[in-house]
């Protein structure tokens, strides 16, 4: 181990990477975490999502925020960037997956998942400060009422990673015996998904990653990994560029030697990089041919329910305060952005359904002329966030995609350039589901509102997801998967995939807690430094 600069280089600082960094540091390993996004202080977050430079991740034009949109042929994927990864932008929710997740045939024979993950879910909840939402709002009550209207009674406050305490009051670390940072009670401003400026959101830089750094882990922010190659005598060289220039070649070229590598850059980051490495003899050519397969979403439908009434402020509360289960494998959640955050107004048009673009366009025009004043009022509300509830519907359907490299990728080129998708198995993710349409109509009645959808959904039928998963699935060997059930990469020693790409079945809910639990389990198999590494 002493022949290398580090024992482990962790690529990415999200839910898988941060857990790995802490547990490896606790076991005495020298750990480097490489994160392409920046380290954010509370003042670095935008006040509204109109501050695109601070909110959006588009480094090519100088925007180095925390929110990224990736447009693929079959889905528009949103993800987080920065020290703390997706925890910076997710809606705090920590639900448990459905039973079908553990029993899915694709991986059920590899381990007793429900039994083995149970203690790791408990640890992850404790580390993330999971608690029941304590700020119930009008949209939560409307959700309860919609459930009653439709005969669904399994309504409950969300389990969230938020410190409530006394609103606005800062106290010493309430989670880790004083070892963690000070925390401030949630004020219910609704800004969870554009970056919490008040210290109430339990992001990874306040728990796992914070404690990892106290134990010696090093975090290199604004550093993007461009290549990984094996060393002849064992271990790896990790090449990267550090800097914030809009021109990648102007950023500082660096390299690190390490005994082991953990890919934890999220599905889009990990699969993209590994696909590039697989195609080169100077990279990782022995990676499984299944790399990029079995990519799935939670079959989400997202709609903006824009109220024509201005007497209620729908922006107050936490990002997601409640959940209504509409079946064994489906649910709906009311979502919000903070006051003034109307960026998505520019990307939405009236929600309509149809089997083709011409049909949807015709339906959109017809729908508009049935109630032009109503639609104009909804389109011109003074503050979109104050008068909009975002409907998030999820269903554990299991259509699968395959991610592939597009044209023009070169070693050292942009990490996300050229990624594309194709249908692999089952039905492609859908932008329209009848159950979601019925729920939207009910919400619209209660809120005197007009449903809207992303233009990519109405025009092209392409759904939006915040929960893209898979691409480095588990298997019994290289012929069946990319990694084993302990997350070890087939064909390479001391190499792991520990992020959403490794999630090999559909949890049917926000996967953040599940990624943490899987990471905790993966780290439990790695011995203390100085002991032999168990065979795969």
Enumerate the active-site residues: 467
Pair of tokens at residue 16:
């898988």
Torsion of CA 429, 432, 434, 437, to 10 degrees: 140
Q: Provide CB contacts within 8 A for 201, sequence distance 6+.
A: 87, 92, 161, 162, 163, 186, 192
User: Are the CB atoms for 302 and 512 separated by under 8 Å?
Assistant: no
| CA 504 distance to own-chain centroid | 15
Nearest-angstrom CA–CA distance, 228 and 243: 19
Nearest-angstrom CA–CA distance, 378 and 98: 36
Nearest-angstrom CA–CA distance, 425 and 325: 27
User: What backbone phi and psi angles, to 5 degrees, belong to 400?
Assistant: -125, 145
| Helix-then-strand count for the chain, H and E | 12, 25
DSSP-derived 3-state class of residue 327: strand
Beta strands in 173-313 (DSSP E): 183-184, 218-220, 223-230, 236-242, 252-263, 301-307
Task: Enter the DSSP assignment of 532.
Answer: P
Nearest-angstrom CA–CA distance, 123 and 530: 25
User: Are the CB atoms for 25 and 212 separated by under 8 Å?
Assistant: yes
Nearest-angstrom CA–CA distance, 267 and 403: 10
Nearest-angstrom CA–CA distance, 466 and 94: 14
Nearest-angstrom CA–CA distance, 501 and 517: 14
Residue 111: half-sphere exposure toward Cβ, Cα within 13 Å: 19
| CA 345 distance to own-chain centroid | 22
Task: Enter the DSSP assignment of 281.
Answer: T
In sign, the C-alpha dihedral spanning 263, 98, 194, 435 is positive
């Amino acid at each position: 181990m002493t022949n290398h600069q580090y024992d482990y280089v962790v690529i990415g600082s999200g839910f898988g990477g941060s857990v790995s960094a802490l547990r490896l540091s606790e076991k005495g390993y020298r750990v480097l975490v490489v994160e392409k996004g920046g380290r954010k202080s509370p003042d670095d977050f935008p006040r509204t999502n109109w501050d695109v430079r601070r909110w959006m991740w588009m480094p090519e034009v100088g925007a180095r925020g925390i929110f990224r949109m990736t447009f693929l042929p079959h889905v528009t994927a949103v993800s987080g960037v920065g020290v703390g990864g997706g925890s910076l932008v997710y809606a705090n929710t920590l639900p448990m997956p459905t039973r079908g997740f553990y029993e899915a045939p694709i991986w059920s024979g590899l381990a007793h998942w429900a039994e083995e993950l149970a203690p790791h879910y408990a640890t992850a909840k404790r580390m993330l400060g999971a608690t029941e939402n304590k700020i119930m709002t009008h949209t939560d009550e409307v959700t309860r009422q919609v459930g009653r209207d439709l005969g669904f009674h399994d309504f409950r406050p969300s389990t969230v990673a938020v410190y409530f305490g006394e609103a606005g009051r800062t106290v010493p670390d309430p989670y880790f015996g004083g070892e963690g940072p000070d925390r401030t009670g949630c004020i219910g401003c609704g800004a969870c998904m554009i970056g919490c400026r008040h210290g109430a959101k339990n992001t990874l830089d306040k728990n796992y990653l914070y404690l990892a750094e106290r134990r010696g882990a090093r975090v290199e922010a604004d550093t993007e990994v461009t290549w990984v190659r094996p060393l002849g005598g064992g271990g790896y060289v990790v090449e990267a560029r550090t800097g914030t220039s809009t021109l990648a070649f102007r950023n500082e070229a660096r390299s690190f030697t390490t005994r082991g590598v953990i890919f934890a850059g999220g599905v889009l980051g990990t699969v993209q990089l590994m696909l590039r490495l697989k195609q080169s003899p100077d990279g990782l050519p022995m990676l499984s041919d299944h790399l990029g397969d079995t990519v799935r979403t939670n079959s989400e439908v997202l709609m903006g329910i824009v109220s024509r009434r201005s007497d209620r402020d729908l922006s107050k509360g936490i990002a997601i305060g409640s959940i209504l289960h509409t079946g064994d494998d489906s649910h709906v959640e009311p979502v919000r952005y903070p006051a003034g955050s109307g960026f998505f107004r520019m990307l939405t048009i009236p929600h309509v359904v149809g089997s083709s673009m011409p049909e949807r366009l015709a339906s959109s025009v017809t729908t508009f002329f049935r109630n032009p004043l109503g639609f104009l009022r909804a389109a011109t509300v003074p503050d979109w966030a104050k008068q909009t509830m975002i409907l998030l519907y999820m269903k554990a359907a299991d259509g699968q995609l395959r991610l592939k490299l597009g044209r023009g990728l070169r070693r050292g080129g942009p990490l996300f350039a050229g990624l594309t998708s194709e249908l692999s198995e089952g039905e492609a993710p859908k932008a329209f589901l009848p159950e979601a349409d019925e729920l939207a109509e009910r919400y619209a009645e209660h809120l005197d509102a007009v449903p809207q959808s992303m233009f990519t959904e109405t025009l092209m039928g392409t759904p939006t997801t915040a929960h893209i998963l898979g691409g480095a699935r588990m298997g019994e060997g290289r012929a069946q998967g990319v990694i084993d059930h302990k997350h070890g990469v087939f064909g390479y020693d001391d190499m792991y995939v520990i992020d959403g790409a490794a999630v090999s079945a559909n949890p049917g809910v926000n996967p953040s807690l599940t990624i943490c639990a899987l990471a905790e389990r993966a780290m439990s198999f790695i011995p203390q430094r100085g002991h032999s590494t168990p065979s795969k």
